[in-house]
């Protein structure tokens, strides 16, 4: 068994007194994660944390020690079976990821919700121009290493704006699916605190977590924390969190993607727009997209042909993608519950008419 080098270094003192040196906080954090990884039986996480420890020693001037630790890590190691949980199962990457979510400083609440990429909705019906914008982001992420050899940086921070229900949040899920990344959605209800400076601290914890584990970081309806400092009447905590977000965006260098969405882009702080690599509209579906959405949603039921799609599409003009899908689903459910073998145009038109009544009753944005 190898012993720790003694030259100029007392590892017990270093870990027991983490605040007596510049790297103390980092070491205390790494130590907690090492213990957590051991408890979970996560060899992959232990490998990554060992690398962080080597880098921490190198930064504090312990070059010789860093080289020795690096040599140990390169030695062949025996791999054992996964560590079992109390229920007899094996710890999965998903289980471990959930335990590494950032927590609020005061109450210990999870500041984000994690979704595995394989579990995400991802199929979208978009106009060719909007589809091209999403596809470009995915292509650049896939070719990030090749772009890097030419000194080029892929688009990593994206702002999606547009009316409600047109696919902005779904766009973030689609990007996570097509890049193979998990989605980490920020919980603004847990992030915002009435205590001085605590919201900004929580926000920094989220960005640190996104840097440590590649993901699509989703700031859904980001106007909640990114409203203009000029128009806001709150010059206290609200202004501080906007300033913190601007700084975090400026320094963003996480390995994954950051996607923010908003319904009302005009209220966002103007300085925030410059921090995004790409900003584009996710518009309401046009006639072609409306028909594709209807046909896709109704693909599981038999239709009583012919159906005058042009008339139905015209009646749905201006509706959001979510409402169009809802109208089609309502028509299909009515047909099934009514014992109909075929879905008729009349049934579909009735669902559209009911949808229009609902939209007229809804408060305007």
Contact 92, 41 (CB under 8 A): no
Q: List per-block mean pLDDT (blocks of 10 residues) for the chain, which spans 365 residues.
A: 45 41 54 62 68 81 81 66 40 46 78 90 94 98 96 96 94 96 92 77 93 94 72 61 89 94 80 90 96 95 92 94 96 93 94 87 59
pLDDT confidence of residue 20 = 43
Query: For residue 291, what are its two tokens?
Result: 């028909």
Residue 330 CB neighbour total at 10 angstroms: 17
Half-sphere exposure of 179 (CA within 13 A, CB side): 31
How far separated are the first and last CA of the chain, in Å rounded?
A: 67
pLDDT confidence of residue 54 = 81
In 3D space, the residue among 142, 126, 124, 125 whose CA is nearest the CA of residue 181 turns out to be 142
Contact 345, 307 (CB under 8 A): yes
pLDDT confidence of residue 98 = 45
Distance CA 72, CA 56 (A): 16
pLDDT confidence of residue 159 = 95
pLDDT confidence of residue 65 = 85
Alpha helices in 143-183 (DSSP H): 144-148, 168-179
Counting beta carbons within 10 angstroms of the beta carbon of residue 256, is it exposed (0 to 12), middle (13 to 18) or buried (19 or more)? buried
Half-sphere exposure of 44 (CA within 13 A, CB side): 9
In 3D space, the residue among 199, 190, 264 whose CA is nearest the CA of residue 236 turns out to be 199
Could you write out the DSSP letters of every residue in 266-332? GGB-HHHHTT-SEEEE-PPP-HHHHHHHHHHHTTTS-B-S---HHHHHHHTTT--HHHHHHHHHHHH
Query: For residue 146, what are its two tokens?
Result: 């090749």
């Amino acid at each position: 068994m190898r012993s720790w080098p003694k030259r100029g270094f007392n590892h017990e003192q270093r870990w027991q007194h983490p605040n007596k040196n510049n790297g103390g906080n980092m070491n205390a954090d790494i130590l907690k994660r090492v213990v957590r990884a051991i408890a979970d039986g996560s060899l992959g996480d232990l490998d990554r944390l060992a690398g962080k420890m080597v880098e921490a020693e190198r930064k504090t001037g312990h070059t010789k020690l860093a080289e020795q630790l690096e040599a140990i890590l390169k030695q062949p190691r025996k791999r054992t079976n996964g560590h079992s949980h109390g229920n007899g199962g094996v710890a999965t990457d998903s289980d471990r990821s959930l335990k590494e979510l950032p927590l609020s400083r005061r109450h210990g609440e999870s500041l984000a919700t994690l979704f595995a990429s394989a579990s995400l909705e991802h199929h979208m019906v978009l106009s060719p121009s909007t589809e091209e914008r999403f596809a470009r982001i995915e292509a650049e992420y896939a070719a990030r290493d090749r772009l890097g050899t030419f000194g080029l940086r892929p688009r990593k921070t994206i702002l999606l704006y547009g009316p409600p229900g047109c696919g902005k949040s779904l766009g973030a899920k689609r990007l996570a699916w097509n890049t193979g990344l998990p989605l980490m959605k920020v919980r603004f209800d847990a992030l915002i605190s009435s205590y001085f400076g605590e919201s900004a601290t929580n926000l920094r914890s989220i960005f640190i977590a996104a840097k440590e584990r590649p993901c699509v970081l989703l700031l859904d309806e980001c106007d909640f924390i990114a409203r203009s400092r000029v128009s806001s009447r709150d010059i206290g905590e609200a202004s501080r969190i906007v300033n913190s977000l601007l700084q975090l965006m400026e320094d963003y260098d996480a390995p994954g993607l950051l996607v923010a969405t908003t319904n009302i882009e005009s209220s966002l702080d103007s300085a925030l727009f410059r921090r995004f690599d790409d900003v584009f509209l996710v518009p309401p579906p046009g006639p072609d997209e409306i028909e594709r959405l209807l046909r896709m949603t109704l693909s599981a039921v038999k239709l009583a042909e012919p159906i005058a799609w042009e008339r139905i599409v015209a009646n749905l003009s201006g509706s959001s993608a979510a409402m169009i899908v809802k109208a089609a689903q309502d028509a299909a459910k009515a047909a099934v519950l009514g014992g109909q073998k075929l879905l008729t145009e009349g049934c579909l038109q009735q669902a559209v008419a009911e949808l229009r009544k609902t939209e007229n009753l809804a408060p305007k944005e």
